[in-house]
């Protein structure tokens, strides 16, 4: 090879091997081709099995159940406390007492779910707990159930008639926390409920305190017996009269269960073989 030929002159490109000048010139004259790869293709692929946040859930909430439930309880508690700051002072105070005592109650069981549901919960509260994962924001509870507040009162009456050992299983999303949630939703939905809310919130706080006391008593080997109402009446620091009046006002006349029979379904007097009724025989 003739090193004096201009076309074949060899020169040193720093960091590169020796190459003919003509070869390098041709290589440098070729413009780089545009990438045919779309910007989206450069993004790392997302695994199809990646966990997506469920409806109503916080994307940043813990994945493990006890911690997740504690997070959801705290999130809604934060919402209701901030909202209640604009409510009357006595109402706001009762909100704080309920939620602080509820946290104490749930912490006794390390935020594990119990095996007993609160009695006669309104249907939309059950949906909020199950489908909406105890969402942090309030819901329009009156939209589908205009009698929601009355349903909350019925739930309280059923809770009063529940045995204390049964109440001790009402921890977790479907337990006393669901009752507290229903009460807060009712107050948020209807400000006129405020007068009854204070009385019922005070009672719920007392029920939670009684349940906490019963938990510690059971640990000591002495089981607390009786209904919630009997325990409330026995406490020296609580008088249930205000809540009783609120429940009577909200529930109204008691519904009679069972079907009425019309006159065609009524049985006539039982007759003996002689054709006389039993009543006639007794009177003869």
pLDDT band at 23 (very low <50, low <70, confident <90, very high): low
Region 132-160: mean pLDDT is 93
Question: What is the percentage of the chain residues whose pLDDT exceeds 90?
Answer: 56
- What stretch of H or E contains 20? strand 19-20
Domain ranges of the chain: 65-251
pLDDT for the residue numbered 19 = 54
Mean pLDDT of 38-42: 51
Q: What is the pLDDT of residues 259-274, one digit of tens each?
A: 333 333 333 333 444 4
In whole angstroms, what is the distance from residue 269 CA to residue 276 CA? 9
Helix axes 194-219, 148-160, angle to 10 degrees: 30
The label of the residue with tokens 């003509």 reads 22
Rounded Cα distance, 117 and 179, in Å: 10
pLDDT band at 188, cuts 50/70/90? Answer: very high
Question: What pLDDT is recorded for position 18?
Answer: 56
* Cβ contacts of 75 within 8 Å, gap of 6 or more: 58, 136
pLDDT for res 147? 94
Q: What share of the chain is helix, strand, coil (3-state, %, to 5)?
A: 50, 5, 45
Which of 22, 124, 98, 110 has the alpha carbon at shortest distance from 69? 110
Weakest-pLDDT range from 25-39, 87-101, 154-168, 265-279 = 265-279
**pLDDT tens-digit series, residues 85-129:** 999 999 999 999 999 999 999 999 999 999 999 999 999 998 888
pLDDT digits 0-9 by tens, 213-238: 999 998 777 778 899 999 999 999 99
Per-residue pLDDT, averaged over 55-73, amounts to 77
Span 12-31, mean pLDDT? 53
Residue 223: the pLDDT is: 79
Lowest average pLDDT, out of 37-41, 101-105, 148-152, 182-186, goes to 37-41
Average of per-residue pLDDT across 134-143: 92
In whole angstroms, give the CA distance from residue 126 to residue 111.
18
The average pLDDT across 184-200 equals: 96
Query: Of 160, 213, 187, 216, which Cα lies nearest the Cα of 86?
Result: 187
158 or 63: whose pLDDT is higher? Answer: 158
Cα separation, 136 vs 134, whole angstroms: 7
In this prediction, residues 187-195 reach a mean pLDDT of 96
pLDDT at 185 over 60: yes
Decide if pLDDT at 49 tops 70: no
């Amino acid at each position: 090879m003739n090193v004096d030929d201009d076309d074949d002159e060899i020169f040193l490109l720093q960091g590169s091997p020796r190459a003919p000048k003509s070869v390098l010139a041709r290589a440098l004259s070729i413009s780089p081709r545009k990438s045919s790869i779309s910007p989206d293709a450069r993004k790392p692929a997302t695994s199809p099995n990646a966990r997506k946040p469920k409806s109503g859930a916080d994307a940043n909430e813990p994945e493990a159940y006890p911690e997740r439930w504690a997070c959801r309880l705290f999130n809604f508690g934060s919402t209701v406390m901030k909202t209640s700051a604009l409510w009357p002072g006595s109402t706001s105070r009762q909100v704080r007492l309920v939620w602080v005592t509820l946290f104490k109650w749930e912490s006794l069981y390390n935020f594990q779910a119990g095996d007993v549901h609160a009695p006669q919960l309104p249907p939309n509260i059950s949906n909020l707990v199950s489908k909406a994962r105890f969402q942090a924001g309030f819901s329009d509870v009156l939209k589908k159930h205009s009698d929601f507040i009355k349903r909350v009162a019925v739930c309280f009456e059923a809770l009063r008639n529940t045995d204390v050992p049964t109440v001790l299983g009402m921890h977790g999303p479907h337990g006393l926390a669901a009752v507290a949630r229903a009460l807060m939703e009712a107050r948020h939905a209807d400000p006129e409920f405020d007068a009854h809310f204070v009385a019922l919130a005070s009672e719920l706080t007392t029920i939670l305190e009684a349940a906490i006391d019963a938990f510690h008593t059971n640990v000591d080997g002495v089981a607390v017996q009786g209904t919630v109402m009997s325990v409330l009446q026995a406490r020296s620091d609580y008088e249930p009269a205000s809540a009783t009046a609120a429940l009577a006002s909200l529930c109204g006349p008691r519904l009679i269960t069972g079907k009425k029979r019309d006159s065609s379904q009524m049985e006539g007097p039982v007759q003996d073989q002689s054709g006389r009724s039993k009543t006639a025989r007794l009177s003869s």
